[in-house]
Amino acid sequence: MTTLPVIAPVPDAARSRRAALPPRHLADLDLPARQALVRELGEPAFRAKQISTHYFGRLVRDPAGMTDLPAAARDRLADALLPTLLTPVREMACDDGATRKALWRLHDGSLVESVLMGYPDRVTVCISSQAGCGMACPFCATGQAGLTRNLSTAEIVDQAVYLAGVAASGVVAGAPPRLSHVVFMGMGEPLANYGRVIAAVRRLCAPAPEGLGLSQRHVTVSTVGLVPAMRRLAEEDLSVTLALSLHAPDDELRDELVPVNQRWKVAEVLAAAWDYAARTGRRISIEYAMIKDVNDQPWRADLLGRLLTGRLAHVNLIPLNPTPGSRWDASPKAVEREFVRRLRAAGVSTTVRDTRGQEIDGACGQLAAAEVSG
């Protein structure tokens, strides 16, 4: 018998932590709210657009560089709208400079991580939505320490804006300088911090100077499968890609690998995913970590194939990144190839995720900042 971890009720955890949220930042607000705030500070409303253009448009975060603002106003506006949210503790690079991981300290000492990945045709940032995570998936490093707190909207957005600035400086080898993609696949369960994550998505996709101007289609929100939140997301009128961390096609195994499955079963979570696809026209990305002798059997490939045949879905197999002390390992390549072959034979589009960032513990499921800080 397997002992299943108990999942903390997320809304309670979030409520009790509200006090720890950071000071307000312009990325928490839409443009009209920024204008109202600037007027309250006794400045003309157009200053909101000016400071937003620096932050979102030019990726400038140091008030000293905002020379079109009168010096006195500059400091007052920066104090009110641009408090420091993320203090870099460590930045690491690997894959010949194409992957960089940033470890940040937040205002209350919490640590979170983000990863920047350059490819010949795009630049992707993987961002965190919570400090820690309450979902307790046993193969994921972040899941081991539990949830510390939700991130604010601006703490989420600022990871992308900061790293967009790093990309723009040209340091990401062999990649274009402009950030194009954001994936919510860092620390945390995005749909457990629903309101702030949705606001962050809106800000990332609003055209500058209101936001960062990304295409909604280039933003991916990944979830363990919080069914009510998935259904709510479908009603938001957003064209973001939904990634579902399935990891097993049967309830018996998924109850263990993704404990929230004890609440919402495979059939329910897939039904919510298909409704999202029908509503948005967007293909669902099915995430499946390949774990040796746990979920990689040919019969599970066939069962997964039957569940997905004819659906608007793509399978992303992720070679397991073993976490420290884990009893699990990645599937052998031959087993992985057979799994892919069976899914494709069932007509299911399937790829194997590249394993960027392994040397810097920046690969999927390796983000565990609390351990790094020791």
Binding stretches for ligand SAH (CB under 6 A): 135, 137, 139-140, 185, 189, 222-224, 245, 287, 289, 318, 320-321, 323, 364-365
Q: How many CA atoms are closer than 13 Å to the CA of 338, on its beta-carbon side?
A: 13
> CB under 8 Å to 17, separation ≥6 — which residues?
148, 149, 150
Residue number, 10 or 77, with CB nearest to ligand SAH: 10
Alpha carbon distances (Å) from 222 to 129, 208, 229, 235: 11, 25, 12, 17
* Rounded Cα distance, 177 and 121, in Å: 10
| Catalytic residue set | 113, 364
Tell the smallest beta-carbon distance from residue 210 to ligand SAH (Å): 26
Helix axes 71-81, 31-40, angle to 10 degrees: 120
Residue number, 80 or 269, with CB nearest to ligand SAH: 269
* Rounded Cα distance, 55 and 198, in Å: 20
Tell the smallest beta-carbon distance from residue 320 to ligand SAH (Å): 4
Tell the smallest beta-carbon distance from residue 11 to ligand SAH (Å): 17
* Rounded Cα distance, 175 and 123, in Å: 7
Residue number, 25 or 181, with CB nearest to ligand SAH: 181
Residue number, 98 or 140, with CB nearest to ligand SAH: 140
Cis peptide before 209 (omega within 30 of 0): yes
Residue nearest to ligand SAH (CB): 365
> For residue 252, with 0-12 CB atoms within 10 Å meaning exposed, 13-18 middle and 19 or more buried, which class applies?
exposed
